[in-house]
């Protein structure tokens, strides 16, 4: 049975959205926590890799400025001035990042239009099951459906099933109400996205983002994954300064999508 990743409540299989938190339900909390741990580990590996590059560059610059230190360093086996980044370090970090991204893609920010569709789908399912079950339960009470049970067993089963189907119907109407609310929010969110896109088209380009962001050495040595983090933060900062109080998840998703539009087509 599915679980809510936020409040940790368990629901029936027909429920897709938590009615309390409006979060998409997941099949297993253990799988969600495992995916989040893998994502955090991958991010740490990439940070370590980026730190390795920066440390190597800092050592190189220091040695070039101080001839005496450079002379000492030549005799030391512990310092490597222009040591390349080990291929196994890059391969391990990038493989972990790709695997984490693949496993956590399900938990990416969902916009209001997607939430509205999920709630609508859940509502139709709940109402369909609820009304169909209620009709069957009524036919059972009226002996239209003949099942050989004692009166006590019959009324107990009818009572339990009736309450359950009534709960399905109530939850269905709640989901319909939530779908309507999310649909209204989706209209506002679409207008906001349209405004941000228009601003980005006027103010953000691949050249403008990279301007002053990388040194000549960094531009040559850093791979696309490491450049992505620096570009992402710059884009996020500039958009956040011009559009205040944006939801963090919404902003991350927008920047990620717009980054692909700029640099995948560039």
Each residue's pLDDT tens digit, 199-225:
999 999 989 898 888 888 888 888 888
Extract the tokens encoding 79.
């310092």
Q: What share of the chain is helix, strand, coil (3-state, %, to 5)?
A: 75, 0, 25
Mean pLDDT of 142-150: 80
Residue pair 142/104 in contact by the 8 Å Cβ criterion = no
Q: How sure is the predictor about 63, in pLDDT bands with cuts at 50, 70 and 90?
A: very low
pTM above 0.85, yes or no: no
pLDDT at residue 218, as a whole number: 83
Q: Quick check: 167 pLDDT over 90?
A: yes
Q: Quick check: 166 pLDDT over 70?
A: yes
pLDDT at residue 154, as a whole number: 82
Q: Quick check: 127 pLDDT over 60?
A: yes
Crossing angle of helices 87-104 and 224-242, rounded to 10°: 50
Q: Quick check: 170 pLDDT over 90?
A: yes
pLDDT at residue 234, as a whole number: 92
pLDDT at residue 105, as a whole number: 44
**Closest alpha carbon to 23 in 119, 91, 93, 95:** 119
Task: Identify the residue whose tokens are 């189907």.
Answer: 165
Percent residues over pLDDT 90 in the chain: 33
Q: How sure is the predictor about 179, in pLDDT bands with cuts at 50, 70 and 90?
A: very high
Residues 6 or more apart in contact with residue 49 via CB below 8 angstroms: 85, 89, 90, 93, 226
């Amino acid at each position: 049975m599915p679980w809510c990743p936020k409040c940790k409540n368990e629901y029936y299989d027909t429920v897709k959205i938590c009615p309390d938190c409006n979060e998409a339900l997941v099949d297993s909390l253990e799988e969600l926590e495992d995916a989040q741990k893998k994502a955090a580990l991958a991010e740490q590996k990439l940070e370590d890799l980026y730190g390795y590059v920066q440390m190597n560059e800092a050592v190189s610059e220091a040695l070039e400025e101080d001839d005496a230190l450079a002379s000492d360093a030549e005799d030391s086996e512990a310092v490597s001035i222009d040591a390349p980044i080990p291929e196994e370090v890059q391969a391990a970090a990038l493989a972990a990042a790709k695997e984490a991204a693949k496993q956590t893609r399900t938990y990416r920010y969902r916009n209001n239009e997607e939430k509205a569709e999920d709630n609508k789908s859940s509502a139709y399912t709940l109402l369909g099951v609820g009304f169909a079950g209620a009709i069957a339960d009524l036919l059972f009470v009226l002996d239209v459906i003949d099942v050989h049970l004692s009166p006590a067993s019959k009324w107990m089963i009818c009572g339990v099933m009736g309450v359950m189907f009534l709960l399905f119907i109530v939850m269905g109407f709640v989901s319909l109400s939530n779908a309507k609310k999310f649909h209204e929010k989706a209209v506002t969110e679409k207008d906001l996205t349209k405004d941000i896109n228009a601003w980005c088209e006027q103010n953000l380009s691949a050249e403008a983002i990279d301007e002053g962001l990388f040194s000549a050495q960094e531009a040559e040595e850093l791979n696309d994954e490491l450049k992505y983090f620096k570009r992402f933060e710059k884009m996020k900062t500039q958009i956040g300064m011009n559009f205040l109080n944006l939801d963090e998840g919404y902003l991350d998703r927008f920047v990620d999508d717009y980054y692909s539009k700029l640099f995948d087509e560039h």
